[in-house]
Chain A
Amino acid sequence: MKIKLELFGATRDLNNKDFIEFNIEGKSSIKELRKQIINYVDDKFKGNENFKKIIETSAFCTEDNNIVSDNYKIIKDQKIGIIPPIGGG
């Protein structure tokens, strides 16, 4: 499956585009996706601890704009947004 991870806030620094594509084998979950993003940071950013901390504390949202938990099952190609810690206003 292809997951297009849409980047926001500090996670925009993870790529020069506003998304990262991940290929996931078989059924998966947000928990697995989070691990893959951390692996990506290990690979591309030498395990940058700041990035890892942001990913560990991020939420995720689906294409229909629902915030989903780590247990959310990913069963098809889709866009998922990563929502790092917020602080607007």
Chain B
Amino acid sequence: MLHAKIVDLTKEKIKPENAEEFIASSKFGASIVFYGTVREDNENKKVTGITYDSHDDLVIKSFKEIYEEADKKLHIKNKSVFIEHVKGYVGLGEISIIIAVACAHRAEAYDLSRYIIEEVKKRSPIWKKEHYKDKEGEWLKGNPIQTN
């Protein structure tokens, strides 16, 4: 079971309670909720916030592919996964991504949560523009997406 969404911060807030509610089930014995949040420094620069941009359709497509691949690569059939990523301006300490997973056992839950965030970083078309205290903001370099 998968929930995948881009949260446009100009229209709504990202809500952790939605993640916990989605994965809650007595079928599972292990749940992990991962939050990505905005850090106050990066490469010796004082960060004041980050603006996230995304190609919404491709991001949702990538979330679905990552979820489906977890079946083949991690062999975790019975699972519940909630992935939301924001777009728009995010202040210090605020949430940019929530990945909530629920599985039968803890080892599966840890593996799945880690797998999803690492794959999102590699494959989901999301971009960050950092804003700084003493200088103009800049888009982070990132890594080229793979083409077929």
Contact = CB atoms under 8 A, between A and B. Distances in A.
Whether chain B is bound by chain A comes out as yes
Nearest to B58: A65
B55 A85 contact: no
Interface of A: 8-10, 12-13, 57-59, 61, 65, 67-70, 81, 83-89
Given A59-B147, A67-B147, A69-B148, A85 B57 contact: no
Contacts, number: 87
Interface residues of B, number: 31
Interface of B: 36, 52-55, 57-58, 61, 85, 96-97, 117, 120-121, 123-129, 139-148
Contacts of B126: 86-89
A88 B128 contact: yes
A87 B97 CA distance: 13
Given A8-B127, A86-B123, A88-B126, 14 more contacts: A9-B53, A9-B127, A9-B139, A10-B127, A12-B53, A65-B61, A68-B148, A81-B58, A84-B142, A85-B142, A85-B144, A88-B54, A88-B96, A89-B120
